[in-house]
């Protein structure tokens, strides 16, 4: 079984054999075009028994297809003395004299080229699992198929020059690092902890995907990249994020200064600056750089941007006006605020789906989401101009999720800044480890309106299921308080991050905490 093939192929390698072989691959093994597919569908059956299963092989010397399992191709080989056949499923070349598959370098080369051509024509979608640290991630957007990683010469060189290796076991703490508080900067530290433990973001930065186009040294994305390097370096001493703080002050002036800031505001400002600085990495379908800031495809948009659908229904003609706005987070009102929380609208059985604990009537995250997506009657003082009636009419407005982001961030509005009072709402809101967003989708609302209460496809549709991976908490009052965070490592291990101090936490600690910012990650990803 040497890579030089067997000597019996030499009888085949005459005249125009390369072209003939290519035609066989294109027509019968990897059919890329609709025409070749039609031909393949019609003609690829066994000439002796008509079956298309049973490991069909094609003779290389003449037009004959035969089953391998039923030995039909073997009979043909013996009778006609045609010693070579090709497996139509995988493209392997079988030699009947050697009685095994052979690997001839020239033929392998042709096989690889034809396979790649066919894949490109088909543009097959990939899918990957988000929670495991999957390095085999192709960001090009072209129809490239997943192949296992083979190191290049340069990479082998680098590996030899840097012999130190780190083994990742289930209880190793790589990726965990404390952050020094530089003067009320706990709001920034928590967000940094959450971002460095966002699996997709981590994969993006650790595979060096950022190509910086900024001339100065003030690129926040480069600084994030550095931060990831620091976190995964294996150092256990706390990191001092002074450069990050300085860059944030430079690019988001409203957050500068040593007073305590809002962690949620920092999150949005950070995502905004990262999104703006990612210009060099955005590539749209044609391979050109995207110039439109609203139609961006940078890593921040790929991970965090969702679509919120707003339907305004005219109460007179029942015409619906729909708009879809992008969002990076969902801000949820809480009971106890000046805006009334109850009553909820009927329909949408969220709480039982998500299995949250209802401790003697405590509010759940699903309750908040149901309230967020309920139809709201806009009073007579807020009439909307209806396109159907051509006049101002009363209407109801309803928000639903049109497109879910890969990472969903929920912001519980605990800080009330109304004209009457400034206070913090400390009501306990219970949130689940696993969240199913199906009841809050625009598509679910449409099915409910059409009278379908259960979609059987949803049982198999894993697309709306999320897992909690980070929680940011605020202790104290509006005037003086402290932020800490919980982050998830290795699927089921949680750690509490209190500035420079990292301690192991139990799932109960996490779920019993007050909750201010909740970060959820999609469980399964489909690559478009």
Residues that bind another protein (CB under 8 A): 31, 34, 37-38, 40-42, 44-45, 50-53, 92, 99-101, 122, 124-129, 145-146, 457, 460
Pure H helices in 461-518: 507-512
Number of H helices and E strands in the chain, helices first, is 16, 25
Coil vs helix vs strand at 397 = strand
For CA atoms 147, 149, 150, 152, the dihedral sign is positive
CA nearest to 210, candidates 228, 193, 192: 228
Closer residue to another protein in complex, CB, 3/346: 3
- Please identify, using beta-carbon distances, which residue of 38 and 211 lies nearer to another protein: 38
- Judge whether 205 and 228 are in contact, CB under 8 Å: yes
Residue 37's region, left for phi above 0, alpha for psi from -120 to 50, else beta, is alpha
Tell me how long the chain is.
528
Q: Which is nearer to another protein, 456 or 480 (CB)?
A: 456
Q: Tell me the closest approach of the beta carbon of residue 139 to another protein, in angstroms.
A: 17
Which residue, 44 or 384, is less far from another protein as judged by CB?
A: 44
Q: Is the peptide bond before 343 cis (omega within 30 degrees of 0)?
A: yes
**DSSP code, position 144:** P
Cα separation, 231 vs 242, whole angstroms: 15
Q: How far is the CB of 511 from another protein (least distance, A)?
A: 27
Q: Is 73 exposed, middle or buried (0-12, 13-18, 19+ CB in 10 A)?
A: buried
Would you say 229 or 461 has its CB closer to another protein?
A: 461
Cβ 101 to another protein shortest distance, Å: 5
C-alpha 308: how far from its chain's center? 18
Taking the complex as a whole, the smallest distance from the CB of residue 37 to another protein amounts, in Å, to: 5
Nearer to another protein, 45 or 245 (CB): 45
CB 178 within 8 A of CB 239: yes
Q: Phi, psi (5° rounding) for residue 64?
A: -145, 130
Q: In the block, which residue shows the tokens 């995964």?
A: 232
Least Cβ distance, residue 202 to another protein (angstroms): 19
Give catalytic residues, as residue numbers: 186, 482
Tell me how far, at minimum, the Cβ of 124 lies from another protein, in Å. Answer: 5
């Amino acid at each position: 079984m040497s890579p030089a093939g067997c000597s019996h192929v030499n009888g085949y390698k005459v005249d125009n054999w390369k072209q003939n072989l290519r035609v066989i691959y294109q027509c019968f093994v990897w059919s890329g075009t609709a025409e070749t597919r039609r031909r393949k569908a019609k003609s690829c059956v066994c000439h002796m028994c008509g079956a298309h299963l049973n490991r069909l092989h094609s003779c290389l010397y003449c037009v004959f297809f035969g089953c391998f399992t039923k030995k039909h191709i073997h009979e043909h080989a013996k009778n006609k003395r045609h010693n070579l056949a090709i497996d139509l499923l995988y493209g392997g070349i079988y030699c009947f004299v050697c009685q095994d598959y052979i690997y001839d370098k020239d033929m392998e080369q042709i096989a690889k080229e034809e396979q790649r051509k066919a894949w490109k024509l088909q543009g097959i979608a990939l899918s990957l699992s988000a929670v495991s640290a999957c390095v085999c991630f192709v960001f090009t957007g072209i129809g490239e198929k997943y192949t296992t990683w083979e190191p290049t010469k340069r990479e082998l060189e680098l590996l030899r020059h840097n012999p130190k290796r780190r083994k990742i076991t289930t209880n190793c703490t790589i990726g965990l690092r404390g952050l020094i508080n530089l003067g009320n900067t706990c709001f920034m530290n928590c967000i940094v902890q959450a971002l460095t433990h966002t699996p997709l973001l981590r994969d993006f930065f650790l595979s060096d995907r950022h190509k910086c186009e900024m001339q100065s040294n003030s690129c926040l994305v480069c600084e994030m990249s550095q931060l990831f390097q620091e976190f995964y370096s294996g150092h256990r001493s706390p990191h001092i994020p002074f450069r990050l703080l300085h860059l944030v002050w430079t690019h988001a002036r409203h957050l500068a200064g040593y007073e305590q800031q809002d962690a949620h505001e920092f999150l949005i400002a950070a995502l905004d600056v990262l999104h703006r600085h990612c210009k060099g990495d955005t590539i749209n379908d044609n391979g050109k750089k995207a110039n439109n800031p609203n139609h961006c495809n940078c890593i921040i948009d790929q991970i965090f941007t969702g679509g919120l659908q707003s339907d305004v229904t005219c109460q007179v003609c029942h015409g619906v006006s729909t708009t879809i706005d992008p969002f990076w987070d969902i801000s949820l009102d809480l009971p106890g605020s000046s805006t009334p929380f109850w009553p909820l609208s009927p329909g949408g059985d969220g709480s039982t789906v998500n299995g949250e604990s209802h401790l003697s009537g405590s509010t759940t995250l699903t309750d908040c989401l149901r309230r967020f997506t309920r139809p709201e009657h806009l009073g007579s003082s807020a009439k909307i101009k209806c396109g159907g009636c051509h006049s101002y009419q009363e209407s109801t407005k309803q928000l639903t999720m049109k497109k879910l982001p890969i990472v969903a961030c929920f912001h519980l509005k605990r800080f009330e800044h109304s004209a009457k009072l400034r206070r913090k709402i400390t009501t306990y809101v219970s949130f689940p480890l696993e969240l199913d967003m199906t009841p809050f989708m625009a598509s679910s609302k449409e099915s409910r309106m059409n009278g379908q209460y259960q979609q059987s496809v949803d049982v198999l549709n894993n697309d709306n299921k999320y897992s909690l991976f980070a929680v940011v908490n605020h202790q104290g009052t509006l005037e003086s308080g402290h932020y800490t965070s919980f982050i998830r490592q290795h699927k089921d291990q949680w750690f509490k991050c209190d500035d420079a101090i990292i301690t192991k936490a139990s799932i109960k600690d996490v779920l019993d905490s007050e909750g201010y910012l909740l970060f959820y990650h999609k469980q399964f990803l489909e690559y478009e």
